[in-house]
Amino acid sequence: MDANDYTQIKASIKRSFNIDLEHYKDEQMKRRLDSWLVRTHIETWKDYFHLLATDGKELERFRNYLTINVTEFFRDPSRWDLVRQEILPYLIKSSKENHQIGGLKLWSAGCSIGTEAYTMAIMMDESAPTQKYSILATDLDRGALAKARARGPYNEEDIRGLSQPQRRKYLTAAAPHHAVESLQKHINFQEQNLIADRFDTGFDLIVCRNVVIYFTAETKDKLYAKFSAALRPGGVLFVGGTEIISGASKFGLQNFGISFYKKA
């Protein structure tokens, strides 16, 4: 695809989905788009956008592909062990010292089909059952959010991080599995574009994992500054396994172990 094609495709994607690919790394996104067109067996992007204008299902498939919503319960289990053993006790203790009312304020930013938010609810139920808390879970992908709100269905890949006792307790018995209703009562799923939209404030924990990997460096920087402003002092940002915030201190963030940053 040449630069001209890419400019036109970006404009069509912005019109159709309100997703601005200016914020995503060009080379990766071009490769992703090229391989999608090959899969559709359609010759040109012009023909493909004609198809999208009349085929709602294809439009939804393409949107899902663009937003890359791969996820699973307890993704990177060793990181979640750290949240359970170290981050959560620290947050509970420090939020009491700050006299936080209303309990812990948690956010799954880029929550996809909800597995991350339900992981947080399971962890709270298992590790801090008397602690009050709320979870905001946001994504720009409406299809993913609809599945999150419906609590599934989740396939074997999605749930492989759950032990048998966790499956018995937190999933419906019959396949295809859904998360049980009681997990959802603390979670508020909302549509949100992390790049364009404003954030709420006062969060104890923001979990934003495997979302920014395709963002440009400049867009990442703006997002980290927004996350820092959204955290309460001493609040923690939990990022993906391969993600490092370079120059974290310029956003008022301190390294707090691999994958964790604390607001100074």
Chain residues that interact with ligand SAM, rule: CB under 6 A = 67-71, 75, 110, 112, 116, 139-141, 144, 192-195, 209-211
- Closest distance to ligand SAM from the beta carbon of 248 (Å): 20
- Closest distance to ligand SAM from the beta carbon of 133 (Å): 18
- Name 92's Cβ contacts closer than 8 Å, sequence gap at least 6: 104, 128, 131
The full DSSP string for 112-124 is TTTHHHHHHHHHH
Cα-to-chain-centroid distance, residue 59: 21
Report the residue number, 95 or 122, with the smaller CB distance to ligand SAM: 122
Are the C-beta atoms of residues 121 and 79 closer than 8 Å to each other? no
Residue 38, SS3 per DSSP: helix
- Closest distance to ligand SAM from the beta carbon of 227 (Å): 12
- Closest distance to ligand SAM from the beta carbon of 60 (Å): 13
Report the residue number, 44 or 242, with the smaller CB distance to ligand SAM: 242
Report the residue number, 93 or 160, with the smaller CB distance to ligand SAM: 160
- Closest distance to ligand SAM from the beta carbon of 236 (Å): 16
Report the residue number, 64 or 172, with the smaller CB distance to ligand SAM: 64
- 219: Cα within 13 Å, side-chain hemisphere: 17
What size, in residues, is the chain?
264
Report the residue number, 199 or 251, with the smaller CB distance to ligand SAM: 199
Report the residue number, 158 or 204, with the smaller CB distance to ligand SAM: 158
**Residue linked to tokens 């023909």:** 47
Determine the Cα–Cα distance for residues 61 and 150; give it in Å rounded to an integer: 19
E-strand spans in 31-139?
Answer: 104-109, 133-139
Q: Please choose, from the candidates 238, 230, 160, 236, the residue with its C-alpha nearest in 3D space to the C-alpha of residue 202.
A: 230
- Closest distance to ligand SAM from the beta carbon of 221 (Å): 14
